[in-house]
Amino acid sequence: MPKTITGEHARAVHRAPETPPPPGGGRIVTLDLIRGVAILGILAINVSGFAGPAIGALSPDFPSPSNFANEAAWGFGFLFFEGKMRALFAMLFGAGIALQCERMDTAGRDGDVIQVRRLSWLMVFGTLHYLLLWWGDILFVYACCGLALLFLRRLSGPVLLGIAAGISLTATAIDFWSTLPLVRAEEAVRLGTASLSQQQDVFARLELYRQNVAAQALLYHSDFTDIALTKLRGDPFWLFRMTAHAWSEVLPLMLIGVVLLRGGFFSGTWPRRRIRALGLGAGATGLALTSAVLWWSWSRHFPPIAMAALLGEGLFVPHLLTALGYASLLILAAPRLTRTDLGRRLMATGRVAFSNYIGTSLLMCWLFYGWGLGLYGQVGPLGQWLFVAIGCAAMLGWSELWLSRFQRGPLELLWRSLVLQKRLKNRLPATA
């Protein structure tokens, strides 16, 4: 993990300039708008993990070959959503931590202490989400990376960007060199030029994938208790391993989000011409790079070993560029979009993103797991878009209705109550 900064001297030297307040001193509505789009888009990718098998997130053609329609449906999600929505959400998460801390610091409260409580409880929520619902939880990873962010947030923007670039480049290089031999072996097998050792290595990895597919099918067709107990007994440290794998993508994105927040990107203080140039330039470049990777992988029917390497660290830059393009275009559209019914629903969806994230997991697990409708393994990439539409409609529908009656989402309210419980207790007078 990155080194920490402690002491009042470090606080004074590295204190970042305060983020310009949004008009009226309230919420930055563009953050809610972008967060709403991101949480909808994340479902478009996560649905393959719910529908099963998990390797479906890497390739539509494993363990069995798929048809053109399923490949096209999978490729559409890969091009426009895969990695881009995670990048958006991670940047927003980092920006949100920085914004809350700076506002608390300005009010004379210790923002870091409150954030530690928030993130600690988020780790608890993430653990429960993994055990009780879905293996693909990101809350635990975000909480761990958020704690690291607290030690770095007061550094200057160029330093934060340097750290982000250093982490990403180092992780990409390590991942590339460690997986390149097996990726080359997979390609050699496809071309019929593989040596015996290459064939053995590739077939061993593919056999491991097949065993995982069979084990997952057996597990997720069972009942609720069996699934939870199997996770607890068989892989209790999965979240730590997932964090060790994902932090080198998530933390850099959070740091970039802090820099964008400080610079006024999210609050709309950038000139519109500058935002438009970033949106078109970054978005087009990111999509062009992703399209090139899609063409290469589709022509080979999405080889799973190579796809695992690409989706691990290899596409960080295209994902980041496309996410910046999406965010820029949403900021440009915000003045008009936020006055429409769709815009209001998107903002409401973003305001209760935590509840929506857990709520869609509950809905999708009920649809696909054995304790619900049991559709696991029966819906291909094309059919999965129907369930994406159902989930998105549910989020857009209930979020605005709930916020018309309550200030926060149900899980947001629970989270806030748990965070503030200790402080409220300390303020109460002692009783006999």
Name every residue whose Cβ is closer than 8 Å to that of residue 74 and which is 6 or more positions away in sequence: 48, 59, 60, 66, 302, 381
pLDDT of the residue at 267: 85
pLDDT of the residue at 353: 97
pLDDT digits (tens, 9 = 90+) for 149-191: 999 999 999 999 999 999 999 999 998 899 999 999 999 999 9
pTM of the entire predicted model = 0.89
| Cβ–Cβ < 8 Å for 214, 220 | no
Which residue has 């982000």 as its token pair?
164
pLDDT above 80 for 11: no
User: Coil, strand, or helix at residue 151?
Assistant: helix
Q: Model confidence at 348, in pLDDT bands (50, 70, 90)?
A: very high
- Report d(CA 224, CA 324) in Å as an integer: 39
| Residues 343-355: b if buried by 16+ CB within 10 A, e if exposed | bbbbbbbbbbbbb
User: C-alpha distances in angstroms, 164 versus 98, 102, 120, 178, 256?
Assistant: 16, 21, 23, 21, 7
Nearest Cα to Cα of residue 64 among 314, 302, 360: 302
Q: In the numeric block, which tokens belong to residue 193?
A: 């030029």
Omega of the bond leading into 60 within 30 degrees of 0 (cis): no
pLDDT above 60 for 232: yes
pLDDT above 60 for 89: yes
pLDDT of the residue at 410: 97
* Sequential DSSP letters for 271-329: -HHHHHHHHHHHHHHHHHHHHHHHHHHHHTT--HHHHHHIIIIITHHHHHHHHHHHHHH
- Report d(CA 68, CA 73) in Å as an integer: 9
Nearest Cα to Cα of residue 337 among 95, 24, 32, 91: 32
pLDDT of the residue at 422: 56
pLDDT above 60 for 255: yes
Q: Determine the length of the chain.
A: 432
pLDDT of the residue at 1: 36
pLDDT of the residue at 405: 95
**Mean model confidence pLDDT for the chain:** 90
| Cβ–Cβ < 8 Å for 115, 103 | no
pLDDT of the residue at 275: 95
Q: Model confidence at 106, in pLDDT bands (50, 70, 90)?
A: confident
pLDDT of the residue at 430: 36
pLDDT above 50 for 429: no
**Helices (runs of H) and strands (runs of E) counted in the chain:** 17, 0
